[in-house]
């Protein structure tokens, strides 16, 4: 599963790109507005300070990789998602 987290403070956003600040196995990804639309994770609408996380299943991510291939925002982590 992938968690989409909403960060309010600039320092928290900056920490996303600090590899030492991320838990093991977590990879920061930019989600385009199209991907946010596909998965229903619009910033300030679906993911807010009151509701800071949304779970996206691995199956949904794999389907997006199949449907949108190289243009999928998850393409950079495809090797981590597809094992075997």
Domain boundaries, the chain: 2-81
Tell me what pLDDT residue 57 has: 84
**CA 47/CA 45 separation, integer angstroms:** 6
pLDDT for the residue numbered 65: 93
At residue 10, the pLDDT reads 40
The CA-to-CA distance between both ends of the chain, in Å, stands at 18
Residues of the chain below pLDDT 50: 1, 6-14
Give the pTM.
Answer: 0.68
The CA R_g of the chain, rounded to the nearest whole Å, is 13
């Amino acid at each position: 599963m992938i968690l989409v987290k909403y960060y309010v403070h600039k320092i928290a956003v900056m920490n996303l790109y600090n590899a030492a600040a991320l838990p093991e196995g977590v990879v920061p990804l930019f989600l385009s507005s199209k991907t946010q639309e596909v998965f229903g994770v619009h910033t300030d609408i679906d993911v807010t300070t009151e509701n800071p996380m949304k779970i996206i299943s691995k199956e949904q991510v794999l389907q997006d990789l199949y449907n949108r291939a190289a243009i999928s925002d998850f393409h950079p982590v495809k090797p981590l998602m597809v094992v075997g």
